[in-house]
């Protein structure tokens, strides 16, 4: 069975997730390359969902916790065949300003992809501004990949549920990858190994076990969304689940 990665290297402060308690790893995509997700996501996803590129209205994609932007760019190129003629716009955000700066510096598609610094647990005004600029009420596709655990560990059960509710409120379709509980234990263990304090909420979390199942239940019961399909599991045993607004 696949497990969470044991990330070791010459500099544990760089390579160990315990050094990034919000999931804001430097060089994250060196140990979890975009291909791990892209191999499961059909290149025709936007068309399959009914979005036509090149029309009068843009198709908006949101990448939650974009890190240094490698996956944002890769998934855009994966889903959009001719970026220079496309009306698909992708907005990526991360709470780490340094990572956002790196994403902006290496972004090869400035007319189609943009990055901002944002903490989704605090406010969403910048996201609403982006939607308004494009005369849209919702993002057509929201990507929330390997983010839920870090919000959960740092903001508790209520923080996780609030994240899901916020994303559901601004998205027509949501592609979710929630880390399994074994990754929580690994993250807490690595943090302690570095001599740091434990995550504030780790020992008091009531949402445990199959976190993806808990997330699905919340989205379907309280957020007006329904599970469309599963694209299978990544090499790290994380399910890719696609939801849509009812």
For the chain, give the longest Cα–Cα distance.
Answer: 55
Report pLDDT for 31: 67
Looking at mean pLDDT, say which of 6-10, 23-27, 177-181 comes out highest. Answer: 177-181
pLDDT at 19: 63
pLDDT at 10: 34
Percentages (nearest 5) of helix, strand, coil residues in the chain: 40, 20, 40
The whole-number average pLDDT for the span 19-26 is 76
pLDDT-based confidence at 235, cuts 50/70/90?
A: confident
Q: Residue 161 — pLDDT band, cuts 50, 70, 90? A: very high
pLDDT beyond 70 at 4:
no
Phi, psi (rounded to 5 degrees) for 61 = -115, 135
User: How would residue 1 be classed by pLDDT, with cut points 50, 70 and 90?
Assistant: very low
Contact residues for 88 (Cβ-Cβ < 8 A; gap 6+): 46, 51, 53, 58, 59, 60, 61, 76, 79, 80, 112
Per cent of the chain over pLDDT 70 is: 91
The confidence score (pLDDT) of residue 30 equals 64
Read off the pLDDT of each residue in 191-200 and give the average, rounded to a whole number: 82
Backbone dihedral region for residue 87 (phi beyond 0: left; psi -120 to 50: alpha; all else: beta): alpha
Compute the distance between CA of residue 205 and CA of residue 152 in angstroms, rounded to an integer. Answer: 8
Q: What DSSP designation does 18 have? A: G
Q: How many CB atoms are closer than 10 A to CB 180?
A: 20
Which pLDDT value is given to residue 218?
Answer: 98
Contacts of 110 (CB under 8 A, 6+ apart): none
Residue 19 CA to residue 77 CA, distance in Å, equals 31
Q: Looking at residue 24, what is its pLDDT?
A: 77
Query: Closest Cα to residue 140, out of 177, 163, 173?
Result: 173
- What values do phi and psi take at 173, rounded to 5? -130, 145
Give 182's pLDDT tier (boundaries 50, 70, 90): very high
- Grade residue 11 by pLDDT with cuts at 50, 70 and 90: very low
Note the pLDDT of residue 177. Answer: 96
Say if strands 225-233 and 239-245 run parallel, antiparallel, or are unpaired: antiparallel
Residue 54 predicted with pLDDT over 60: yes
Token pair of 211 as six digits: 């976190």
For residue 56, what pLDDT is reported? Answer: 81
pLDDT in tens, 57-111: 899 999 999 999 999 999 999 999 899 889 999 999 999 999 999 999 999 999 9
The CA distances from residue 44 to 41, 47, 50, in Å, are: 8, 5, 10
Gap between the Cα atoms of 163 and 29, Å rounded: 23
How much is the pLDDT for 14? 43
Percent of the chain with pLDDT over 90: 72
- Higher-confidence residue of 200 and 220: namely 220
As a whole number, the mean pLDDT across the chain is 89
The per-residue pLDDT for 96 is: 94
pLDDT at 151: 96
Pick the CATH number of 31-245 from 3.40.50.150, 3.40.50.970, 3.60.140.10, 1.10.287.110: 3.40.50.150
Tokens found for residue 11: 């500099």
From residue 143, give the alpha-carbon distance in Å to each of 25, 42, 163, 200: 18, 14, 13, 26
Of 109, 174, 162, the closest CA to residue 138 belongs to 174
């Amino acid at each position: 069975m696949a497990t969470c990665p044991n990330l070791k290297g010459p500099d544990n402060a760089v390579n160990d997730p315990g050094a990034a308690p919000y999931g804001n790893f430097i060089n994250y995509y060196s140990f979890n390359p975009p291909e791990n997700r892209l191999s499961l996501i059909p290149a025709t996803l936007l068309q399959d969902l009914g979005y036509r590129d090149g029309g009068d209205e843009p198709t908006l994609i949101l990448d939650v916790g974009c890190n240094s932007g490698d996956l944002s760019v890769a998934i855009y190129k994966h889903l959009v065949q001719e970026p220079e003629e496309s009306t698909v716009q992708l907005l990526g955000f991360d709470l780490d300003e340094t990572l956002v700066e790196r994403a902006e510096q290496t972004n090869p598609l400035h007319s189609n992809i943009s990055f901002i610094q944002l903490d989704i647990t605090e406010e969403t005004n910048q996201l609403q501004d982006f939607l308004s600029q494009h005369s849209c009420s919702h993002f057509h596709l929201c990507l929330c990949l390997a983010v839920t655990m870090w919000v959960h560990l740092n903001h508790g059960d209520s923080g996780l549920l609030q994240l899901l509710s916020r994303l559901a409120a601004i998205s027509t379709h949501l592609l979710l990858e929630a880390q399994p509980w074994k990754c929580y234990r690994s993250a807490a263990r690595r943090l302690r190994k570095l001599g740091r304090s434990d995550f504030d909420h780790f020992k008091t979390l009531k949402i445990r076990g199959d976190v993806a199942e808990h997330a699905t239940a919340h989205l379907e019961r309280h957020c007006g969304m329904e599970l469309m399909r599963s694209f299978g599991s990544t090499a790290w045993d994380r399910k890719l689940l696609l939801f849509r607004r009812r």
